[in-house]
Chains A and B, each alone.
Chain A
């Protein structure tokens, strides 16, 4: 199974708090990997370490390695601009720019130097289609993204992320602000996108992890407790902590 991202003995600390402790794991290419675990266990910290988003925090200390396609992204020569292009991120709260729908999707390509209208038109249409939003917005591309519903805004953010042609998409609780119907659409989208992208999704919703992911990682107090095929983790967890967490017998 081809590996897209590999962490080697990764530790991430904020001051004297170790948010991630010695995590070594492989994220497989074109598969959906779910990261689950109780609040504060380090899910967001782990996923952010995949595109160096933790670097922005002042008192952070990172040891170990994160390899993307075999290259250490924390290596001195690694180009963070390339990294951010290759690894896109979707957040819990949809965060479209206060611009038109069109400009949201065209934003990344423009930054990367694409300005021809025909090309941008094509990119916008293609990625809105990939994000399963095109049919709902094709007649009002120039109206404000802020007028869309929460679920539509989240799909717009996905279209915006896709427009820069990433290889990996990180999602941190992408559905937790959405209603069940919008959630179902995002879940369907995650499955469809996994044909072409490597997806890592953090979720608090066990059933969602079971529905959308191929692999599941269970984190507890910053440690990787269990990691394996979702089917196996949910049917027959090997670690007692995983069992307790999944069945709601925690604490």
Chain B
């Protein structure tokens, strides 16, 4: 049986998955380009702006459905969570933008010693977390969502390792600041991937978990 609400929910889901695509691209190219030294600032800025607009659209649509249909149970959990997830996807875009901005503004790798190893490792993990979070979203897969916690812990460990090491690193403050900022943004992206995981578990099971 098709309910009036279903048409709206389908539309909302489509909007969110589209955001997922855009966000995934933003994160991926900002990290990859940082590694290869390519400036993608403008492209990422475009993607990030798109996500800001789409986030507003998702919120509008979600509140419209709440006002019209007064959803309850799983319908309510989905709509409530989609508002949060949409915000997390927007943050993906914003931190991707931050990374590409730092790259454009500060990066100067010739003078940095071994600056990239940790970022490369974190970057790969973060890209995979973003992909997993979006995949879990597609199917409301709470098992997959729970897997995010492992990678999240690894990313956190790398983050703290960088903070510890950086105080002793004999490199110029420019390299240090660049890397520290990027590492911090990566850590934030990983957190938002985990938030999405929490939302998906809530949709699927009603359980309010903190995966951190």
Per the bound structure, the CA–CA distance linking A237 and B77 in Å amounts to 11
A206 to B1, Cβ gap below 8 A?
A: no
| B68 within 8 Å of A (CB atoms) | no
Report which residue of B3, B72, B75 has the largest number of chain A beta carbons within 10 angstroms of its beta carbon: B72
A243 to B70, Cβ gap below 8 A?
A: no
Encode A208-227 as 1/0 by CB contact (under 8 A) with B: 00100000000000000000
State which of A207, A210, A235, A249 has its C-beta within 8 Å of the C-beta of B77.
A235
Per the bound structure, the CA–CA distance linking A236 and B3 in Å amounts to 20
Q: Which residue of B lies closest to A232 (CB)?
A: B206
B70 to A247, Cβ gap below 8 A?
A: no
Per the bound structure, the CA–CA distance linking A236 and B205 in Å amounts to 8
State which of B1, B5, B76 has its C-beta within 8 Å of the C-beta of A235.
B76
| B71 within 8 Å of A (CB atoms) | yes
User: Hey, which chain A residues are within 8 Å of B77, CB to CB?
Assistant: 235-236
B169 to chain A, nearest CB (A): 49
| B117 within 8 Å of A (CB atoms) | no
The size bracket of the interface on A is 10 to 19
User: Hey, which chain B residues are within 8 Å of A236, CB to CB?
Assistant: 73, 77, 206
Q: Which residue of B lies closest to A209 (CB)?
A: B72
Per the bound structure, the CA–CA distance linking A38 and B71 in Å amounts to 18
| B74 within 8 Å of A (CB atoms) | yes
Per the bound structure, the CA–CA distance linking A193 and B153 in Å amounts to 52
A165 to chain B, nearest CB (A): 36
Encode B46-87 as 1/0 by CB contact (under 8 A) with A: 000000000000000000000000111111110000000000
A206 to B3, Cβ gap below 8 A?
A: no
Report which residue of A207, A210, A237, A248 has the largest number of chain B beta carbons within 10 angstroms of its beta carbon: A248
A249 to B1, Cβ gap below 8 A?
A: yes
User: Hey, which chain A residues are within 8 Å of B76, CB to CB?
Assistant: 234-235
Per the bound structure, the CA–CA distance linking A17 and B72 in Å amounts to 32
- What count of chain B residues pass the 8 Å CB interface test? 12
Per the bound structure, the CA–CA distance linking A235 and B76 in Å amounts to 7
User: Hey, which chain A residues are within 8 Å of B70, CB to CB?
Assistant: 206-207
A132 to chain B, nearest CB (A): 25
Per the bound structure, the CA–CA distance linking A207 and B70 in Å amounts to 7
Per the bound structure, the CA–CA distance linking A207 and B76 in Å amounts to 13
Per the bound structure, the CA–CA distance linking A246 and B71 in Å amounts to 9
Q: Which residue of B lies closest to A234 (CB)?
A: B72
A243 to B74, Cβ gap below 8 A?
A: yes
User: Hey, which chain B residues are within 8 Å of A247, CB to CB?
Assistant: 3, 71-75
User: Hey, which chain A residues are within 8 Å of B74, CB to CB?
Assistant: 243, 247
Q: Which residue of B lies closest to A206 (CB)?
A: B72
Per the bound structure, the CA–CA distance linking A57 and B1 in Å amounts to 38
User: Hey, which chain A residues are within 8 Å of B3, CB to CB?
Assistant: 247-249
Of residues 147 to 185 in A, which have CB atoms within 8 Å of B's CB atoms? none
Per the bound structure, the CA–CA distance linking A41 and B21 in Å amounts to 47
B199 to chain A, nearest CB (A): 14
A33 to chain B, nearest CB (A): 18
B1 to A246, Cβ gap below 8 A?
A: no
User: Hey, which chain B residues are within 8 Å of A207, CB to CB?
Assistant: 70
User: Hey, which chain A residues are within 8 Å of B206, CB to CB?
Assistant: 235-236
Per the bound structure, the CA–CA distance linking A206 and B69 in Å amounts to 11
Per the bound structure, the CA–CA distance linking A234 and B73 in Å amounts to 5
Per the bound structure, the CA–CA distance linking A251 and B70 in Å amounts to 20
User: Hey, which chain A residues are within 8 Å of B75, CB to CB?
Assistant: 247
Per the bound structure, the CA–CA distance linking A206 and B161 in Å amounts to 53
Per the bound structure, the CA–CA distance linking A236 and B74 in Å amounts to 7
User: Hey, which chain B residues are within 8 Å of A235, CB to CB?
Assistant: 72-73, 76-77, 206
Interface residues of B (CB under 8 A from A): 1, 3, 5, 70-77, 206
Q: A234-B72, A249-B1 are in contact. List 6 more A-B contacts (CB 8 A).
A: A235-B206, A243-B74, A247-B71, A247-B72, A248-B3, A249-B3
What are 11 residue pairs bridging A and B, where the CB atoms are less than 8 Å apart in the complex?
A: A234-B72, A234-B76, A235-B76, A236-B73, A236-B206, A237-B73, A243-B74, A246-B73, A247-B73, A247-B75, A251-B1
Q: Give 4 closest A-B pairs by Cβ, nearest first.
A: A236-B206, A246-B73, A234-B72, A246-B72
